[in-house]
Structure 1
Amino acid sequence: MNRSRSPLRHVLWLLLVLGSQALANWQDALPGARIVGTGEFRVFGFDVYNARLWSAAQPFASDQPFALELIYQRRISRDDLVQASVDEIKRLSGAAVSAGQLAAWQAQMQQAFVDVQAGTRLTGVYLPGQGARFFVGQQLQYEVKDPAFARAFFDIWLDPRTRNPELRQQLLGTAQP
């Protein structure tokens, strides 16, 4: 009798684990979030990703929780994503971020990011005063508990000095038609 219950216990345990993971999605941190703006990032005419900025604060407020969702259109390695992020943080932050701090953030991004291919959805959630959570699809990949990192990372897209001001305006919903 105990043997017949064993498979049932395993199935119930599996359902419990899968069910609890399904509840842990990025929208849980942003109840009532709506799309603020959308845009596309292209390099030399090639689609890299589609972006969507989500927030419950209307109008958008960068000091409130928000999510930046990137839906990739091509294959890019984790290492390339991390290096591009490090380069932009360094460019925007300058001397305000030490080499040691940047190296620590790089190590955290190595854990937060994955290799992507067309259709991969990565979402970063900004939590003011706490840090950032990174999701692959709906699954939590990694949490960085460092508010300075979170601000520096999302500034890649939202700082007025971003490399792509048109995408920034589209995300913020301020682009001219």
Structure 2
Amino acid sequence: MHRRALLTLGLGSLLPPVAQALDRPAELQSVWPKAQLIGSGRMRFLGLSIYDAHLWAPAPLSAADWSERPLAIELVYTRSLQGAQIAERSLDEMRRQLNIGSADAERWLATMKATFPDVRDGDRLTGIYRLGDSARFYWNGGLRKTWSDAALAKHFFGIWLSPQTSEPSLREALFGGRV
């Protein structure tokens, strides 16, 4: 199967923004008891569903100031993927948006490989962006890894939320159509 079809990102088609109310992930309950769903979209590649993405925040969030606000992205996978491939594709997407030095790229890739597990249909990976500080990742509700590299955290979430994303339609859906 084509490598990109196995990875987390690629050409997308989407669900209607916030088509229905979703239950707040348990890992957000203790961090942000009143977190609100900002928007949702489905990631597809070559017609294959990869995951459903949901953007959560404890307060209103706009496309203009996302990197200055706490937020969470929840991915609910609709197919099996290897964690190493998720990490490699994530680095490729970050490189599309900025020039990353080789030392940073190696360190970031190692961090992401240690963070992202192999996933199956129905698995849920939630990343919480903690403004200017770090990121925390939960797999099926359990804490998986905490990152202390603020630059890595910002650029990782930028894969979906930056204006330079390779998936502008998914970005628009995540922001509830308000881009």
Q: Give me the TM-score of the superposition, normalised by structure 1.
A: 0.81
Name stretches of at least 5 consecutive residues in structure 2 with no aligned partner.
1-25
Q: Following TM superposition, by how much is the alpha carbon of 1:129 offset from its aligned partner in structure 2, in angstroms?
A: 1.6
Partner SS, residue 88 of structure 1: helix
Matched residue, 1:142: 145
How far 1:58 sits from its partner (Å)? 1.4
User: Residue by residue, what CA displacement relative to the aligned partner does 1:44-91 show, whole Å, maximum 9, x if unpaired?
Assistant: 000000000000111444111110000000010011101100111111
Q: CA deviation at 1:146?
A: 1.0
Q: Please point out which of 31, 42, 45 is paired with 1:43.
A: 45
Against the structure 1 CA distance between its residues 27 and 104, is the aligned structure 2 distance closer, same or farther, given a 3 Å change threshold?
farther
Q: 1:126 aligns with which of 117, 126, 129?
A: 129
Cα 1:65–1:59, aligned 2, differ >3 Å: closer, same or farther? closer
Q: What residue number does 2:5 align with?
A: none
Equivalent residue number for residue 90 of structure 2: 85
TM-aligned CA distance change 1:48 to 1:175, over 3 Å: farther
1:72 pairs with 2:74: no
For residues 160 and 173 of structure 2, the distance between their equivalents in structure 1, rounded to whole angstroms, comes to: 11
Q: CA deviation at 1:31?
A: 3.0
Deviations 1:135-160 (A, max 9, x none): 00110000000110111000000011
Q: Which of 32, 35, 41 is 1:33 aligned to?
A: 35
Aligned-partner Cα distance in 2 for 1:91–1:160: 12
- Tell me: higher relative CO, structure 1 or 2? Use CA pairs within 8 A at least 6 residues apart: 2
Query: What amino acid sits opposite 1:116 in the alignment?
Result: V
Where does residue 10 of structure 2 map in the other structure? none
Out of 59, 62, 68, the position equivalent to 1:57 is 59
SS of aligned partner of 2:40: strand
Kindly tell me the number of residue pairs found equivalent between the two proteins. 151
List, as ranges, runs of 4+ consecutive aligned residues in structure 1 with deviation greater than 6 Å. Answer: none
Q: Which moved more, 1:30-39 or 1:117-126?
A: 30-39
